[in-house]
Amino acid sequence: MEKSLAQSVVNKMFDDDMFSQWLGIERVLIEQGHCILRMKIRNEMLNGFGIAHGGIAFSFADSALAFASNSYGKLSVALDCSISFPVAVKEGDVLTCEAKELSLTNKTGTYLIEVKNQKNENVAFFKGTVYRTSKEWFPKEK
Amino acid sequence: MEKSLAQSVVNKMFDDDMFSQWLGIERVLIEQGHCILRMKIRNEMLNGFGIAHGGIAFSFADSALAFASNSYGKLSVALDCSISFPVAVKEGDVLTCEAKELSLTNKTGTYLIEVKNQKNENVAFFKGTVYRTSKEWFPKEK
Amino acid sequence: MEKSLAQSVVNKMFDDDMFSQWLGIERVLIEQGHCILRMKIRNEMLNGFGIAHGGIAFSFADSALAFASNSYGKLSVALDCSISFPVAVKEGDVLTCEAKELSLTNKTGTYLIEVKNQKNENVAFFKGTVYRTSKEWFPKEK
Amino acid sequence: MEKSLAQSVVNKMFDDDMFSQWLGIERVLIEQGHCILRMKIRNEMLNGFGIAHGGIAFSFADSALAFASNSYGKLSVALDCSISFPVAVKEGDVLTCEAKELSLTNKTGTYLIEVKNQKNENVAFFKGTVYRTSKEWFPKEK
């Protein structure tokens, strides 16, 4: 099956994304302005209280923000992100996140990313705003 | 020299904090409600654009939030954090962050964490609010 | 028709809420953890550029946060809120906002509030976290 | 004494800013990227619990953000703001806020605004990111 532009862009980003690979992120769905990702919490992701470090859920959601906002092939950089942590994440948990585009203008985009665990509990809510540069970073295919 | 309660608490947290260790975080200063940390950006922390993944600066600041807010020996959990990214972080950069306590009540605390690179440029600003549980998790020393 | 607890609680809050009244907020729907509000932008709500002051959309959403989170009759106070402003609001615009409960625990709640104009454009996204006190402030009806 | 560009710009903004005038905001200090403002809490600013509506402290800080970020004469619009509320604000309180520029690039600026009451208690912390348009909105003086 032919890949969409969004998939080609995100595949290229992902191949060079050392940290998303370290996190073990899987791409479940990639579309323009939208993506679903999955990852599993390992021992080396825990903090001093034996639960997942807050940076793990943030990083997972931030990858989703990058993939969703860059999927148009126009370089987008995060300006400001906020995250709420209602439920602790534990070792062995399988997290899924979904990025939805709340708004998109020529210069900015805003995304909501919900992170759930395998019990379908919301473990984090992430809202991120990106600045869309004028750089068409992804080479148009022939 | 005798260790302060803040140092003892954070040392114990750090020893069990697998992810802060993976990040290579060094403790420069630990006091009640205040800390300074340092870390170096490695290749495996980069994203698909060859700069540090946004989750890295967040995680660094979030460790500072955890150390500063837990330094009283009362278990504190992050509820809500926001981060702004004015300047990109590159491989080899040495980051320093300082957590300052903006407010502390019986039930909540708010902290500002500024992250700078080796050129003293501000690369991230982090504001975090914690919920302070009633759990005195750190065993009082005799 | 009999009023629900949520409606009784919010009616009492609203009757004493001088600022929500100044804003001209109307209650479209009030349920536990959920509400829809409406208001119209007046000249005295504008900033120096002739568009609505950012504090207006925030205040509108913050009222929705207060109504949705207090609708259980347990006193809840906002700890941390973030707002994104994708589209400017103009004089005469009729705004609608809807508060949805993202999570609810014994001690905290997180809400997303979307603000739209009369053209159904998203003009603001608000995420708020409240601390739920143990105070049952609303007198149980006989 | 001659007015600085920053003062001229903010004076012009303020003269047209109906909502900042309704709030009763006084300009204590105006400089490029920096300002100090003062206001008093009136009865019509209270919420249903008899304390100041959260939107009041936000609006006060948001005016400071607008004045500080626009003081260069280049039109700047808020993209994303977050606010923490550690202490309740009461009727009769006199609030002071100070906006400090955390970073400034060609396209964006980030500001921290601390709001204090007359007892010098921190009642709110506000972090805001603006997008700096290319529009030089303020007419250069001869």
List the single residue in B82, B108, B110 with the smallest CB-CB distance to C131: B108
Q: Which chains touch A (3 or more CB pairs under 8 A)?
A: B, C, D
Using pLDDT thresholds of 50, 70 and 90, give the confidence band for residue A135. confident
In the sheet with D94-104, reading across from the earlier edge strand, the strands are C26-31, C34-40, C94-104, C108-116, C122-132, C76-84, D76-84, D122-132, D108-116, D94-104, D34-40, D26-31
Does D141 score more than 80 pLDDT? no
Do C108 and B129 lie within an 8 Å CB cutoff?
A: no
pLDDT in tens, C110-133: 999 999 999 999 999 999 999 998
**Could you report the per-residue pLDDT of C70-116, keeping only the tens digit for each?**
999 999 999 999 999 999 999 999 999 999 999 998 889 999 999 99
For an interface test with D, the pick among B65, B69, B103 (most D C-beta atoms closer than 10 Å) comes out as B103
- Alpha carbon separation from D107 to B86, C102, D104, D127, D139 (Å, rounded): 10, 33, 8, 17, 20
Q: Count of CB atoms within 10 A of residue D25's CB?
A: 22
CA distance linking residue B98 with residue B87, whole number of Å: 17
Tell me if B55 sits within 8 A of B22, measured CB to CB.
no
Q: Residue D18: CB partners within 8 Å, gap ≥ 6?
A: C43, C44, C45, C46, C47
The pLDDT, as a whole number, for residue A35 is 98
Residue of B nearest to D120 (CA): B103
pLDDT tens by residue, C27-79:
999 999 999 999 999 999 999 999 999 999 999 999 999 999 999 999 999 99
Helices (H), chain A: 5-15, 18-23, 54-70
**Residue A55 and residue B53: Cβ atoms within 8 Å?**
no
User: Which pLDDT value is given to residue B142?
Assistant: 42
Give chain B's mean pLDDT: 94
D79: chain A residues, CB-CB within 8 Å:
79-80, 108, 129
CB A91 within 8 A of CB A41: yes
* Mean pLDDT taken over chain C: 94
Query: How many Cβ pairs closer than 8 A exist between chain C and D?
Result: 143
ipTM of the complex: 0.95
Q: What percent of chain D has pLDDT over 90?
A: 87
Predicted TM-score (pTM) of the model is: 0.93
Instruction: Give the model's confidence band at D142: pLDDT under 50 very low, under 70 low, under 90 confident, else very high.
Output: very low
Compute φ and ψ for A109, nearest 5 degrees: -145, 150
The count of other CB atoms within 10 Å of the CB of residue C104 is 18
CA distances C42 to C19, C26, C95, C121, D18, Å, are 14, 15, 11, 19, 10
Q: Write down the CATH superfamily of domain C5-132.
A: Hotdog Thioesterase (3.10.129.10)
C-alpha closest to that of A26 among A40, A12, A42, A13: A40
D80 in Cβ contact with C84 (< 8 Å): yes
Note the pLDDT of residue B107: 87
A8 touches chain C (CB under 8 A): no
Closest by CA position to A129, among listed A116, A113, A114, A140:
A113
User: Among A79, A82, A110, whose Cβ lies nearest the Cβ of D108?
Assistant: A79
Report the alpha-carbon distance of residue C123 to residue C85 in Å, rounded.
6
Shortest Cα–Cα distance, D37 to chain C (Å): 15
Cα separation, B120 vs A86, whole angstroms: 34
Number of residue pairs across B and C with CB atoms under 8 Å?
Answer: 21
Nearest Cα to C104, choosing from A84, D122, B40? A84
**Helix and strand counts by DSSP (H, E) for chain D:** 3, 6
Taking the CA of residue C111 and the nearest CA in chain A, the distance in Å comes to: 10
Tens digit of each residue's pLDDT (9 = 90 or more) over D27-67: 999 999 999 999 999 999 999 999 999 999 999 999 999 99
- Residue C142 is predicted with a pLDDT of 42
- Contacts C108 to B, Cβ<8 Å: 79, 131
* Range A50-53, long-range pairs (CB < 8 A, 24+ positions): A50/A91, A50/B16, A51/A88, A51/A89, A51/A90, A52/A88, A52/A89, A52/A90, A52/A91, A52/A93, A52/B19, A53/B17, A53/B19, A53/B20, A53/B59, A53/B62, A53/B63
Whether the pLDDT of residue A1 is over 70: the answer is: no
For chain B, the distance separating the N- and C-terminal CA atoms, rounded to the nearest angstrom, is: 17
Answer yes or no: do D53 and C19 touch at CB < 8 A. Answer: yes
B82 chain-C contacts, CB cut-off 8 A: 80, 82
Tokens 């950006």 correspond to what residue?
B41
Angle of the A5-15 helix axis to the A54-70 helix axis, nearest 10: 140
Which strand (E) or helix (H) includes residue C100?
strand C94-104
**C-alpha distance from B58 to closest chain A C-alpha (Å):** 6
Pairing of strands B122-132, B108-116: antiparallel
For residue A54, pLDDT beyond 60:
yes
CB contact at 8 A, D97 and D113: yes
Q: Which helix (H) or strand (E) holds D111?
A: strand D108-116
Q: Is C110 on the interface with A (CB under 8 A)?
A: yes
Q: How confident is the model at residue A100 (pLDDT cuts 50, 70, 90)?
A: very high
Task: List CB contacts (< 8 A) between B103 and chain D.
Answer: 84, 86-87, 122, 125
Tokens of B72: 């009283």
Residue D109 has pLDDT above 50, yes or no: yes
Subunits next to B (3 or more Cβ pairs <8 Å) are A, C, D
CA pair distance A124, A129, nearest whole angstrom: 17
What stretches of chain D show up as alpha helix (H) in DSSP? Answer: 5-15, 18-23, 54-70
Is B23 within 8 Å of A48 (Cβ atoms)?
no
Are the beta carbons of C125 and A102 separated by less than 8 Å? yes
- Residue of B13, B46, B85 with shortest CB distance to A79: B85
Residue whose structure tokens are 């534990």: A90
CB-nearest to A48 from B13, B65, B88 is B13
CB contact under 8 A, B84 and D114: no
Q: Which D residues, 69 through 108, put their C-beta within 8 Å of a C-beta on chain A?
A: 79-80, 82, 107-108
CB count in 10 Å sphere of residue C116: 17
Q: What is the Cα Rg of chain C in Å? A: 15
Q: Using 70 as the pLDDT threshold, list the residues of chain B that sit under it.
A: 1-2, 138-142
For residue D111, what pLDDT is reported?
96
Q: Tell which phi-psi region holds residue C96, choosing left (phi > 0), alpha (psi between -120 and 50) or beta.
A: beta
Q: What is the mean pLDDT of chain A?
A: 94
CB contact under 8 A, D125 and B127: yes
